[in-house]
Structure 1
Amino acid sequence: MMERRAPRPSELRPLLKFKKPTLSPKERRLAAALTIEDLRAIAKRRTPKAAFDYTDGAAEEELSLARARQAFRDVTFHPRILRDVSKVDTSRTVLGTPSALPFGIAPTGFTRMMQTEGEYAGASAAGAAGIPYTLSTMGTASIEDVRDANPSGRNWFQLYMWKDRERSMALVDRAAAAGYEALVVTVDVPVAGARLRDTRNGMTIPPTLTPRTVANAIPRPAWWINFLTTEPLAFASLDRWSGTVAELLDTMFDPTVDYADLAWIKDQWKGKLVVKGVQSVEDASRLAELGVDAIVLSNHGGRQLDRAPVPFHLLPEVAREVGDATEIHLDTGIMSGADIVAALALGARFTLIGRAYLYGLMAGGREGVDKTIEILSTQIERTMRLLGVSSLDELRPDHVTQLERLVPRR
């Protein structure tokens, strides 16, 4: 029998340590977020439906997005044991310059609609973290203002080729004058994808106040206060627009753009050239022959062609075909640092995050973007240690097995 006794106060004192209260609601929210999915849940609570769905949604049945995310889940890692992983190096040389982490922020349109700090939060957070930031042609801050928000960081400019070529190249000239180091030409938008959530929500730029949107705004007053009391949405590349997003895209974008146009752009731009939206081995090989500095395997986050190829599935074959001829970057479906590590192991030089960054932005502005970067960085370091690698260059294809779910029928 164990003898029982009353505990002494001196014995209880070490067990009764109370956590210091956090007075800031934003700090409490972000401190409780351990994953990108946690940030997504916070973002959904705090953002009106139309703006959240614009970020969260994809084209038609949203199969491309679902499959891309599932592809990362369908991975088996193969760790090595008894390695010294007391220190890990997460840096990567990308387009000839070091990045502190193996991911950058992807171009996203209409970003200040999601949260009023928008591109300014993304660019400044990227600069502080030592990673590249990409401004979209459809961004809601000017080329020069984003440069000023990230004056000593790595700024890239994403270009959609418009029907008005002179206007397109005027943007390129502005980006060059502002010191942007890379031009990211996006080639998978000859027309707008059918983003049904936006159609059902009556999504316009800027958001239209209807009885439905007002009702949806009542439990989200902070978003509307910020939206109505800060500078109206302006665009990196055009004047105001009062129609739907799809109408804007179809009005502007040029479905005739071809490889000759890309070669012409390459001749005009003196910095690094990246082509985003590559979805086949054949196109990857042709772009490498053209001499572009990097390609981005991407199906536009599932927002264009539904049932498009999964970039992560394409990666191993593209890596074998292209080799060292050009850098391979990858986006679509990334929701964790483990996803990023898997992509690097299978041949990607770099990755880009879009929704993951926007979930953080909607959850907490600049601090929320910092939280996104912190979560992914922590997950990358932990995954590397558990795999037994101390630098990203040690990652190899045999660290990862892609499990087969969608197997082509012969």
Structure 2
Amino acid sequence: MKRSLYAGRDFRRTRNIDELRLVAKRWLPNFVFEYVDSGAEDEVTLRENRSVFDAWRFVPSALVDATARDTSISLLGQRAAYPLVIAPTGYNGMQRRDADISLARAAAQRNIPFTLSTVSNCTIEDVVAGGQARTWMQLYMLRERAVTRNLLDRARDAGCDTLVLTVDAVYYGNREWDRRSYVRDMQLNWRNKLDVLRHPRWIANVLVPHGVPAFANIARYLPEGERRASNGAVYIAKQMETALDWSSVRWLREHWQGKLVIKGILNVADALEAVRLGADGIVVTNHGGRQLDSTVTSLDVLPEIAAACRGRLTVIVDGGFRRGTEIVKALCLGADAVMLGRATLYGVAAGGFEGAAHALTLLTSEIERTLGHLGCRSVADLSPNYLRPAHAGLRA
């Protein structure tokens, strides 16, 4: 029988990402954990993102000397030690103080890129300087193009070489579990206010001395004295470009000279249009099950998208990855790299920089071990030949 997952407070004793999640849950107040962990509506997509990996089984090669295993890849023109990218996630300062800098430091330690969200609680400049990682900048296209241009200029001047345009979050997802924490926007209900008081260490780390973290990247565009988190949330909601279309991508390609990645692709036609407009990469994703419920999972469509785009742009995938075996399955199905969202968020919540680094250690060691078991000497050699579909009905 499978033993119970570790549910203590010491993240160093965890042996996998699911155990790390439980430590993060103990550290965080309920409303913050729900923000990180919940999905849209009935959470069908959220569940499918986890169960889809069970649809595939490995076919190892025997009698292969895989003592030396190469996990490095060329990713958008630079070498990365692993086929991994830390995904853009917003409002991370509610988990730990300066969480984005901690995540960037963990990425730098493993020589993989870190992607900073537009709605970060740390500025682009502070993250690049403090994290020392190869930093990509995620962009929500805003109605005020002057503000968007300024964000591009700041990212370029700070040293970001890659821009990640998110195209699947023009409208907020209906995350009911998250919304149940509030009586109105940014106002917790009494149950959650009392729950916050049960987390004094979190209060000391996150709320003292500056209160609820503001959206640092956009704070400068708000009037002086109105740079609180609540005003930042209202600003983003009003400024989100709901008319986002392919002409917006053309505009962005004209004004951004670095690498351009489009995040939020789930069909071949959109992937090929990204190729046509000069994108350097795409992220195949359903936004972690947080936007439109009952969408396909990334792995459902990854093989056909990867086949259509092979050699034409970089294909990155995200959605539910918590094991090295799952990352290897995605690489076998055609992904060039995998983005990590919740997996490293659980780590930074549980232990700051050391927790995020621990999450990456767990995953990278599992990748290396999986390659050894498969008899595969390099991630570059992974292919569909290492997989077979599982028996029908396994995900039901």
Normalising by structure 2, we get a TM-score of 0.91
Matched with 2:308 is 321
CA contact (8 A) 1:191 1:249 kept: no
- Bigger drift between 188-197 and 374-383 goes to 188-197
The one of 50, 55, 63 aligned to 1:82 = 63
Matched with 2:128 is 147
Q: Percent identity?
A: 37
1:200 partner letter: R
Matched with 1:385 is 372
Which digits, 9 at most, give the CA deviation of each residue in 1:190-214, with x for residues without a partner?
A: 2111111121011888x65653233
The one of 178, 193, 200 aligned to 1:214 = 193
1:305 partner letter: L
Do structure 1's residue 228 and structure 2's residue 207 form an aligned pair? yes
- Consecutive unaligned residues in structure 1, runs of 5 or more: 1-26
1:117 partner letter: D
CA contact (8 A) 1:204 1:244 kept: no
- Consecutive unaligned residues in structure 2, runs of 5 or more: 1-7, 220-226
Do structure 1's residue 95 and structure 2's residue 76 form an aligned pair? yes
1:320 partner letter: A
CA distance in 1, matches of 2:184, 2:331: 37
Which digits, 9 at most, give the CA deviation of each residue in 1:105-156, with x for residues without a partner?
A: 00000001122231011011111111100000011100100011123x2110
Distance 1:242 1:395, change over 3 A: closer
Which digits, 9 at most, give the CA deviation of each residue in 1:131-189, with x for residues without a partner?
A: 100000011100100011123x2110000001111111210110001110100001111
Do structure 1's residue 137 and structure 2's residue 125 form an aligned pair? no
CA contact (8 A) 1:204 1:243 kept: no
1:251 is displaced (CA, Å) by: 1.9
Do structure 1's residue 172 and structure 2's residue 147 form an aligned pair? no
Distance 1:245 1:60, change over 3 A: farther
Q: How many residue pairs were aligned?
A: 380
Do structure 1's residue 157 and structure 2's residue 137 form an aligned pair? yes
1:237 partner letter: N
CA distance in 2, matches of 1:291, 1:405: 39
- Root-mean-square deviation over aligned CA pairs: 2.2
Matched with 1:345 is 332
Distance 1:348 1:223, change over 3 A: same
Secondary structure in 1 matching 2:65 = coil
CA contact (8 A) 2:118 2:138 kept: yes
CA distance in 1, matches of 2:306, 2:74: 17
1:295 partner letter: I
Matched with 1:195 is 175
CA contact (8 A) 2:182 2:188 kept: no
Secondary structure in 1 matching 2:180 = helix
CA distance in 2, matches of 1:176, 1:39: 35
The one of 20, 30, 36 aligned to 2:17 = 36
CA distance in 2, matches of 1:134, 1:222: 28
1:351 is displaced (CA, Å) by: 0.8
The one of 30, 33, 37 aligned to 1:52 = 33
1:300 is displaced (CA, Å) by: 0.6
CA contact (8 A) 2:214 2:232 kept: no
The one of 280, 290, 294 aligned to 2:277 = 290
CA contact (8 A) 2:97 2:206 kept: yes
1:397 is displaced (CA, Å) by: 1.0
2:238 partner letter: T
Do structure 1's residue 265 and structure 2's residue 252 form an aligned pair? yes
Matched with 2:3 is none
Distance 1:162 1:320, change over 3 A: same
